[in-house]
């Protein structure tokens, strides 16, 4: 097969497009976005189930006639789907308070039963030989093991941080779970997310740390031959000053490969070309028919089709010129030939114990074709026969990619949406094509408008003093922006970030739209507040928090839990150029770790044990019970 870059071939497919457009015209008008996300193909390959995340429903498509057969309302935003072993039940995780697992009869399309799930359930994964279902509970940091016959949770296996996807080996022995973000302090030499590997026989879990800078994990799959695990994610060069984006200077976009049997890392390779990024890889799947590795890129609105067998051959060929070593927190690999970087930056790499990346941008250039899609925001993916179906979140449509030719045509799921200003801002926030050379989007460092768990050395307050990425929830209501307060408002920070981080030329109305999106973000209920009530421990913690003796509320008053002022709390680090820093709001602080301006505290417990704030100036010491009560309260915000 010849691999080359293609664009959507509308001319050769006008008849199909006209048919699909006619089908769309027959659909009722949609007053609000549908938000197609995860996909699932029926066992006979004739139907496709589409999770309409924003519309709170599951659509059923007839692939033979290219029609929407029915829509099934579900009790929350559908976040993941899979079929049971005989294909009779569609199992849908629904986000909500609390989350729900919903079983839909695949024939009658009636909801058969529902089951309470954890906080932020998604990515249901069926055991191939047992009636067990594994569900990632993103905000509980664990994986539920559910028995489908008794409809009860057998146990919950701890993950690392925000488990958001899973794939199981064909023999059912090992379940591989991706953790969205790193779960450690961000001021160390190595900061990376991990894959949790669960032995399904005894539910023992181990964790495989990825290459330094691995964050924003989104997609995972196991190869049809059961040899490899493929994971897609962002790969951040967070040890470098953010002075440019070319050549993946700030963020690269990567594919990591693990050995199924040994669970060891084989390689991390870049999906970018030398002068064009492939930002925000989201879903990954392998075609059983021809072994094509298919990856959706949510930031650049395209799909990569990769010759997987040739990829593995090329990795083996590189073995003779690649050193294998063990870093301070696990194995890594790096090429002998260092990237073309300045000598002073090379010394910076050495000082921070950061090896050069495993492969340079352009490693994939002779192995894959980049297919431009006819819509925006590709996310979920499913393969049926010789076609890959890709959900286009912002276009309320699918893209149908013919794998042998790389041709892509749209499959509208409703009327063509006219985005509201807020929706347009969300689209721009996730759009890497506004970035110079398409290397990253705003969401690369702020996934879901939150944090990537890393420190970045932005140039707005000088070079050499990296700061932890802030969540953007309530940022417009809690000026100033940035830890050093160098931006008087979030509005100014948005425009400066577009210019000096994305190196984008964006019109003012686009920046206003991004403002609108960020101002629309609402906090997710804390893991101790999902039912709207506080536990006795959280109530005690709130009383402590607001008490004069402890004094947390003096600088962190409700409702946003910040007074918007700068303080010297004794947190100055060796490379800092100031002693006072912005007081962060504590809304959603349970998901914004690590803490402090330099990310020195990995957990809330570490934070409370640290020397800062009022307790630093007195002799008061909190008991273990008081510390736990405070943590319970913070977990409710």
Per-residue pLDDT reduced to its tens digit, 397-418: 999 999 999 999 999 999 888 9
Measured distance CA(494)–CA(483) in Å, rounded: 15
- pLDDT of 581 > 60? The answer is yes
Three-class SS of residue 248?
helix
Which helix (H) or strand (E) element contains residue 621? Answer: none
Of 266, 195, 283, nearest in space to 232 by CA? 283
Cβ proximity of 324 and 333 under 8 Å? yes
Mean pLDDT calculated for residue range 104-133: 95
Could you tell me the CA-to-CA distances from 468 to 89, 457, 556 in Å, in that order?
44, 9, 19
Q: Where are the domains of the chain?
A: 58-108, 425-520, 536-634
Q: Taking residues 520-542, what's their average pLDDT?
A: 87
- pLDDT average, residue stretch 571-587: 88
Write the CB contacts of 570 (distance below 8 Å, at least 6 apart in sequence). 611, 612, 616
Task: Read off the pLDDT of each residue in 369-377 and give the average, rounded to a whole number.
Answer: 96
Structure tokens at 111: 């909801």
Does the pLDDT of residue 49 top 90, yes or no? yes
Separation of alpha carbons 576 and 484, rounded Å: 10
pLDDT of residue 11 exceeding 80? no
Calculate the alpha carbon distances from 144 to 100, 404, 531 in Å: 12, 38, 19
What does the pLDDT read at residue 464?
Answer: 86
374 near 389, Cβ under 8 Å?
A: no
DSSP characters over 306-352: EEHHHHHHHHHHHGGGEEEEEETTEEEEEESS--S--HHHHHHHHHT
How many residues in the chain?
Answer: 637
DSSP state of 276: B
**Average pLDDT in the 450-477 region?**
92
Q: What is the pLDDT of residue 533?
A: 83
* pLDDT reported for residue 530: 64
CA 630 vs CA 470, 535, 558, 624: distances in Å: 22, 12, 15, 10
Q: pLDDT tier at 315 (50, 70, 90 boundaries)?
A: confident
Which is it for strands 368-372 and 302-307: parallel, antiparallel or unpaired?
A: antiparallel
Query: Residue 450 in contact with residue 139, Cβ under 8 Å?
Result: no
- pLDDT greater than 50 at residue 349: no
What HEC string does 98-161 produce? CCEEEEEECCCCCEEEEEECCCCEEEEEECCCCCEEEEEECCCCEEEEEECCCCEEEEEEECCC
* Segments in 465-601 forming alpha helices (H): 490-500, 508-520, 536-546, 552-555
pLDDT band for 534, please (50, 70, 90 cuts). Answer: confident
* Residue 203 pLDDT exceeds 60: yes
Strands (E), 17-64: 36-41, 47-52, 57-62
pTM of the model: 0.88
Say what the pLDDT of residue 463 is: 87
- At residue 99, the pLDDT reads 92
Q: How many helices (H) and strands (E) does the chain have?
A: 11, 34
Compute the average pLDDT of residues 217-226: 96
Q: What superfamily in CATH does domain 425-520 come from?
A: Cytochrome c-like domain (1.10.760.10)
Per-residue pLDDT, averaged over 320-324, amounts to 48
User: What local confidence, expressed as pLDDT, does residue 613 receive?
Assistant: 57
262-281 pLDDT, tens digit per residue, is 999 999 999 999 899 999 99
Closest by Cα among 484, 488, 461, 486 to 476: 488
The pLDDT score that the predictor gives to residue 237 is 93
Mean pLDDT of the chain: 86
More confident residue, 185 or 325: 185
Closest by Cα among 561, 559, 552, 567 to 629: 552
Token code pair at residue 602: 């990995």
pLDDT at residue 360 tops 80: no
pLDDT in tens, 125-171: 999 988 999 999 999 999 999 999 999 999 999 999 999 999 999 99
CATH 3.40.190.10 for domain 536-634, yes or no, is no
Q: Are 425-520 and 536-634 equal in CATH topology?
A: yes
Q: How far apart are CA 262 and CA 282, in angstroms?
A: 25
Residue 232: what pLDDT? 98
| DSSP conformation letters of 446-491 | SGGGS--S-EEB-TBTBSS--EEPPP-TTGGGS-SBSTT--BSSHH
- Name which of 130-134, 183-187, 382-386, 620-624 the model is least confident about: 620-624
Q: What percent of the chain has pLDDT over 70?
A: 86
């Amino acid at each position: 097969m010849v691999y080359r870059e293609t664009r959507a071939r509308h001319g050769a497919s006008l008849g199909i497009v006209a048919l699909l457009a006619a089908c769309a015209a027959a659909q009722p008008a949609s007053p609000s976005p549908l938000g197609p996300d995860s996909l699932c193909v029926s066992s006979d390959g004739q139907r496709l189930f589409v999770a309409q995340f924003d519309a709170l429903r599951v659509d059923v498509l007839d692939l033979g006639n290219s029609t929407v057969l029915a829509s099934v309302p579900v009790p929350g935003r559908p976040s993941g789907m899979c079929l049971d072993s005989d294909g009779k039940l569609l199992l849908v995780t629904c986000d909500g308070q609390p989350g729900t697992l919903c079983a839909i009869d695949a024939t009658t399309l009636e909801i058969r039963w529902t089951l309470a799930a954890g906080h932020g359930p998604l990515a249901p994964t069926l055991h191939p030989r047992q009636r067990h279902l594994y569900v990632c509970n993103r905000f509980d940091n664990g994986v539920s093991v559910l028995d489908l016959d008794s409809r009860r949770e057998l146990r919950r296996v701890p993950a690392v941080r925000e488990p958001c996807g899973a794939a199981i080996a064909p023999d059912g022995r090992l379940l591989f779970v991706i953790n969205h973000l790193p779960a450690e302090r961000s001021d160390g030499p190595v900061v990376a997310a991990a894959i949790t590997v669960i032995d399904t026989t005894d539910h023992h879990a181990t964790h495989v740390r990825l290459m330094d800078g691995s964050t924003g994990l989104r997609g995972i799959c196991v190869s049809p031959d059961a040899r490899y695990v493929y994971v897609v994610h962002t790969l951040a060069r967070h040890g470098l000053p953010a002075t440019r984006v070319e050549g993946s200077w700030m963020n690269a976009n990567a594919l990591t490969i693990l050995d199924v049997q040994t669970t060891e890392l084989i390689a991390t390779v870049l999906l970018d070309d030398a002068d064009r990024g492939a930002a925000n890889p989201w879903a990954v799947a392998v075609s059983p028919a021809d072994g094509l590795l298919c990856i959706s890129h949510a930031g650049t609105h395209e799909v990569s089709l990769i010759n997987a067998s040739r990829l593995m051959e090329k990795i083996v060929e590189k073995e003779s010129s690649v050193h294998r070593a063990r870093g301070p927190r696990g194995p890594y690999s790096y090429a002998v030939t260092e990237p073309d970087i300045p000598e002073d930056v090379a010394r910076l790499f050495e000082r921070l114990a950061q090896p050069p990346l495993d492969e340079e941008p352009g490693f994939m250039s002779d192995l894959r074709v980049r297919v431009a899609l006819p819509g925006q925001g590709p996310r979920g993916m499913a393969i049926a026969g010789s076609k890959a179906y890709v959900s286009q979140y912002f276009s309320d449509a699918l893209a149908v990619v013919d794998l042998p030719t790389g041709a892509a045509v749209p499959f509208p799921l409703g009327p063509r949406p006219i985005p509201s200003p807020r929706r347009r801002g969300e689209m721009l926030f996730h759009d890497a094509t506004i970035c110079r050379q398409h290397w990253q989007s705003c969401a690369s460092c702020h996934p879901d408008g939150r944090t990537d768990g890393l420190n970045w050395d932005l140039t707005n307050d000088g070079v050499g003093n990296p700061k932890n990425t802030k969540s953007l929830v309530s940022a417009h209501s809690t000026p100033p922006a940035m830890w050093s307060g160098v931006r008087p408002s979030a509005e100014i920070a948005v425009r400066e970030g577009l210019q000096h981080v994305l190196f984008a030329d964006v019109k003012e109305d686009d920046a206003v739209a991004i403002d609108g999106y960020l101002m629309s973000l609402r906090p997710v209920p804390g893991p101790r507040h999902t039912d709207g009530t506080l536990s006795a421990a959280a109530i005690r913690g709130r009383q402590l928090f607001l008490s004069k003796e402890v004094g947390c509320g003096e600088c962190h008053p409700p409702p946003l839990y910040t007074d918007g002022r700068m303080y010297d709390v004794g947190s100055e680090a060796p490379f800092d150029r100031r002693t006072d820093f912005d007081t962060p709001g504590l809304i959603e602080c349970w998901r914004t770790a690590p803490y402090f301006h330099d990310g020195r505290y990995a957990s809330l417990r570490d934070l409370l044990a640290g020397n800062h704030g009022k307790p630093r100036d007195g002799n008061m010491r909190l008991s273990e019970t008081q510390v736990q009560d405070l943590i319970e309260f913070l977990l409710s915000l």
